[in-house]
Structure 1
Amino acid sequence: MAQSLKTEVFEWYPVCTLPRAEKKAYQALINKGLQAYLPLHRQQKQWSDRKKWVEEPLIKSYLFVRVSERQKTEVLMTKGISRFIYFSGAIATMPERQIEDLKLMLTSSADIEVTQEDLQPGEKIVIKAGALKGLTGEIISYRSQKQLALRLEKLGCSIIVNVGAALIDRI
């Protein structure tokens, strides 16, 4: 008799961390052997006596884990992790493509801004050239500039990237 092997399905989930604990929670997940992603971006900080470039979380109090159903408890038992993010009454999942898009944006030299504003859907576009080639999103008007907004609907935020109009095509 052939035994049916049940394969584990791994999905990306956004998790909420304790305030200012993103890096420590990320490291704790990695130390447990779990796959995690903490999007970081460089920004210059000003103190009274100096300026310094530091890596800050792109989305405050959020990171992403790629785990199976049985590993969710292990994630919640990790120091610094507060909870999973819920969307419409269920634990939110993130498509692999959105995680890859985040990684692509952060490796490019694009000017990135995260906003909690509820941006209204606009015209769908794809970037046709440059470091973000192939990225899809929606056009919005924000601060009187044309910009690309990638909506991360299940997180309740949008990521805004400055892109010239010559570099986009309508879908």
Structure 2
Amino acid sequence: MKLVTGEKQWYAIYTRARAEKKVHTSLLKEGFEAYLPLIKRLRQWSDRKKLVEEPLFRSYIFVRVDEKNLFNALNVFGALKYIKFENKAVPIPDKQIEAIRIYLEDPEPDEEIDEALSAGQLVRVKSGPMEGLIGKLVSYKNKFRLVIMIDAIGQVIRLNIPRSRVELVKEFEQK
């Protein structure tokens, strides 16, 4: 299959259940730029524990294509549809994809919460790979956790980010 050139953007493809890795491999074989964020999780069975790589977002994979090749990327077995708004595939900003990549490569350690912040407040990441992203603060057991929403696919990522890299979003900035 020959790819048509043009300005490429990231899009989220919804896949069959548990087919993310197969779709990723197939897209790469077809010459597409694809990204499947994987996270290592400890799984326990009755006889053993094992560290396994699982998709960060179940049933989603990201593909970078131009509008002329949107349909071609869906011709891969297991790829079902694009995430759409008003019947049009929604592009995902490069910055969001890059922030996910950087975070998964080098997650930041936890730091204690500053008492001036409380759960439920909107905060902005002021430095680091997630700079500029806004999320809802969640606190527990003296640890700091930020929830980031990836708007285009309506998914949430829970990230541990040092307190020193986060600032409160003022009320007038929220509108």
Instruction: Give the TM-score normalised by structure 1.
Output: 0.79
Q: CA deviation at 1:79?
A: 0.8
Is 1:123 the counterpart of 2:116? The answer is: no
Structure 2 residue aligned with 1:117? none
The match for 1:137 is: 134
Q: Which residue of 2 aligns with 1:44?
A: 42
What amino acid does structure 1 have at the position aligned with 2:83?
I
SS of 2:91's equivalent in the other structure is: coil
1:55 and 1:146, CA in 2 relative to 1: closer, same or farther beyond 3 A?
Answer: same
SS at match of 1:8: coil
How far apart are the structure 1 equivalents of 2:19 and 2:130?
A: 33
Quote the residue 2:66 is aligned against: 68
Mapping 1:15-26, distance limit 5 Å: 15-26=13-24
Whether the 8 Å contact between 1:101 and 1:135 is mirrored in structure 2 is no
For 1:57, the aligned partner's letter is P
Match of residue 99 from structure 2: 101
Aligned length: 154
For residues 12-52 of structure 1, give each alpha carbon's deviation from its aligned partner in whole angstroms, at most 9, with x where no partner exists: 00000100000000000000001100000001111111111
Shift of 1:110: 4.3
User: What is the aligned-residue identity percentage?
Assistant: 32
In the aligned structure 2, how far is the partner of 1:62 from the partner of 1:17? 6
Q: 1:87 to 1:142 in 2, by over 3 A?
A: farther
Does the 8 A contact of 1:29 with 1:36 survive in 2? Answer: yes
- Give the letter for the 1:141 counterpart: V
Check 1:62–1:142 CA distance in 2 against 1; reply closer, same or farther (3 A cut). farther
Q: Tell me what 2:80 maps to.
A: 82
Write the distance in 2 (CA, Å) between the matches of 1:101 and 1:124: 16
Quote the residue 1:53 is aligned against: 51
Return the letter of the residue paired with 2:107: S
Structure 1 residues without counterparts, runs of 5 or longer: 1-6, 112-120
Gaps of 5+ in 2: 110-119, 170-175
Q: Which residue of 1 aligns with 2:10?
A: 12
Contact 2:122 2:135 in 1 (8 A): yes
